[in-house]
Amino acid sequence: MNRHDLVWYVGYGSNTLPARLDAYLGGSAADSRFGAHAAPRTLSPPREHRWITVPHAVYFAGVSARWTGASAFLSLALSPDSIARAYLLEWSALDHIATVENAQTEQTLDVRASVPTRPGAWSLLPVEVSSEPHRGKYDAALRLNDIDGVPALTLTSSHVREPGVPADGYRDVIAEGLRDNPFGVDPDAYLAAAVERSAFVRR
């Protein structure tokens, strides 16, 4: 497999925790902390992961079907750096993550077909139309700076939803994911700042 078949998926919320991403790609039981996820047969685990910072702010808004509180999003505007964990995946794995994150019922999203042409740009994903607030909320593919010549992408919302506070369980998962960050950032202080910021994010 060559580099053209790979992409860096950049996780900034609960997906900073490798075990959370493993549940998406490898499956998890209904009684697990992450809920039920079917195990796709053809997906490979990340080839590697590494810590990075991205020039977009984390904020909390909308509603999470799993956690009941607000979900984490990344601002589309350039802003103070956020901490993220980048995973080197095959494109099919990113398609699956996008499909599950958006709670799609029929179609599998093709993220590669929607990749913006340059870092800092974003494009809409063709998510299913739904009146349920937890569906289709990660409808924007935001391109970040390439890593080792391979495209880096994350998923966020094309518009800023109603700000909110994350549920304790969700916040605990994010804090656990951030705990081994190499930047000397305290997870609790980092997340408190993100919650406070949420009321002021406009894009």
The token pair at 8 is 């860096």
**Does 123 have pLDDT greater than 60?**
yes
Residue 203 within a domain: no
Taking the C-alpha atoms of residue 80 and residue 78, their distance in angstroms, rounded to an integer, is 7
Residue 73 within a domain: yes
For residue 73, the tally of other CB atoms under 10 A from its CB is: 28
Residue 165 within a domain: yes
Residue 163 sits in a domain whose CATH number is 3.10.490.10
Per-residue model confidence (pLDDT) at position 3: 67
Domain that holds residue 119: 6-198
Residues in the chain: 203
Question: What are phi and psi for residue 54, nearest 5 degrees?
Answer: -130, 145
Task: Report the domain count for the chain.
Answer: 1
Per-residue model confidence (pLDDT) at position 121: 97
Residue with tokens 């916040």: 171
In this prediction, residue 135 has a pLDDT band, given cuts at 50, 70 and 90, of confident
Residue 189 within a domain: yes
| Segment 22-68, tens digit of pLDDT | 988 887 655 666 665 766 666 888 999 999 999 999 999 998 988 88
Taking the C-alpha atoms of residue 146 and residue 131, their distance in angstroms, rounded to an integer, is 35
Residue 1 within a domain: no
Residue 41 within a domain: yes
| Segment 91-106, tens digit of pLDDT | 999 999 999 999 898 7
**Which pTM value belongs to this model?**
0.94
Residue 138 within a domain: yes
Residue 177 within a domain: yes
Higher pLDDT, 50 or 107: 50
Per-residue model confidence (pLDDT) at position 65: 82
Amino acid (one-letter) located at 141: A
The token pair at 171 is 């916040």
Taking the C-alpha atoms of residue 25 and residue 175, their distance in angstroms, rounded to an integer, is 21
Per-residue model confidence (pLDDT) at position 32: 67
DSSP the chain: --GGGEEEEEE-SGGGSHHHHHHHHH-B-TTSTT--B---SSPPPPS-EEEEEESS-EEEES--TTTSSPEEEE-SS--S-EEEEEEEEEHHHHHHHHHHHTT-SSPPP-GGGG--SSTT-EEE--PPP-SSTTSS---EEEEEEEETTEEEEEEE-SS---B----HHHHHHHHHHHTT-TT---HHHHHHHHHHHHTT---
Per-residue model confidence (pLDDT) at position 132: 81
Q: What percent of the chain has pLDDT over 90?
A: 75
The token pair at 154 is 């994350």
**Does 112 have pLDDT greater than 70?**
yes
